[in-house]
């Protein structure tokens, strides 16, 4: 039987310098194929609002939506670590956050992902004290798309970069089990990874982190419109979805992806 992937596994990967692969998943079939291909972390992302439900952003996704899809992925019975997003406005109070996180964990998640920065510290500590591993999503946070003025690279200027680094350190001290960086310059991601002891996962953050994640539909070439700069279509040179998943996993674990053309 394959040894289950846990937070401790990711810490071991980090300590040995071995990258790990992550991918979004929303149903049992795709989760099974991803697990069989070696993918180590499956994220039930609120990206489902865009790639499954047809919304223009992740904001309309509900907690019930996330619970449903988390249960679907958990039924695949893979060895993968399962991470689930807390959807928009389900973390306005600590009590609300604990309830939402508890429901997702009871649905099969092993880790809860939450968007924000240093202001999340108290919430992260409350979750960690109750046995809930937390991955904090920083940089381009899709739930804040309206406040950010669109899907833009974050941390280009020195002041913003320094603030993100400080926030990441604060969140680690608060009890975060991992940090996810989206759409930040490669140099900043490397600085943050160097400053932390917990695993750092990147999407559009360059190769100098511990793990990589992509939205499944993007890496299968099923993106509507122009794909983001950091995406590679692994289906283009594969004969099947399973082959594409294996190619992605191999490219990540050998540090062939992301390549320079995928970095900011």
Residues assigned a catalytic role: 182
CA–CA dist 223, 242 (Å, integer): 18
Q: Which pair of tokens denotes residue 186?
A: 């490669």
Nearest to 25 by CA among 254, 220, 233: 220
């979750």: which residue's tokens? 127
CA–CA dist 94, 205 (Å, integer): 30
Alpha helix stretches (DSSP H) within 37-93? 48-51, 63-74
CA–CA dist 92, 191 (Å, integer): 30
Q: What are phi and psi of 118, to 5 degrees?
A: -60, -30
**Going by C-beta distance under 8 Å and a sequence separation of 6 or more, which residues neighbour residue 228?**
151, 183, 204, 218
Q: Is 232 helix (H, G, I), strand (E, B) or coil?
A: coil
Determine the distance from the C-alpha atom of residue 94 to the mean position of all C-alpha atoms in its chain, rounded to a whole number: 22
């Amino acid at each position: 039987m394959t040894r289950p992937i846990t937070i401790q596994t990711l810490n071991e990967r980090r300590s040995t310098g071995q990258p790990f692969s992550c991918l979004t998943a929303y149903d049992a079939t795709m989760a099974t194929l991803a697990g069989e291909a070696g993918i180590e972390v499956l994220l039930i992302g609120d990206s489902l609002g865009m790639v499954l439900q047809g919304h223009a952003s992740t904001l309309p996704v509900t907690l019930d939506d996330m619970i449903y899809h988390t249960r679907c992925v958990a039924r695949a019975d893979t060895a993968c670590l399962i991470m689930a997003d807390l959807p928009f406005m389900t973390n306005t109070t600590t009590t609300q956050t604990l309830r939402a996180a508890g429901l997702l964990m009871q649905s099969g998640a092993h880790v809860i992902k939450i968007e924000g920065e240093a202001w999340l510290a108290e919430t992260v500590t409350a979750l960690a004290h109750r046995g809930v591993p937390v991955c904090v999503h920083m940089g381009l946070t899709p739930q804040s798309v309206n406040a950010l003025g669109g899907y833009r690279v974050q941390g280009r200027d020195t002041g913003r970069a320094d603030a993100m680094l400080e926030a990441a350190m604060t969140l680690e001290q608060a009890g975060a089990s991992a940090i996810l960086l989206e759409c930040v310059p490669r140099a900043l991601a490397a600085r943050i990874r160097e400053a932390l002891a917990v695993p750092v996962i990147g999407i559009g953050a360059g190769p100098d982190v511990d793990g990589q994640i992509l939205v499944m539909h993007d890496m299968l070439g099923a993106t509507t419109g122009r794909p983001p700069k950091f995406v590679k279509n692994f289906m283009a040179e594969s004969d099947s979805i399973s082959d594409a998943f294996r190619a992605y996993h191999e490219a990540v674990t050998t540090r062939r992806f992301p390549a320079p053309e995928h970095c900011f």
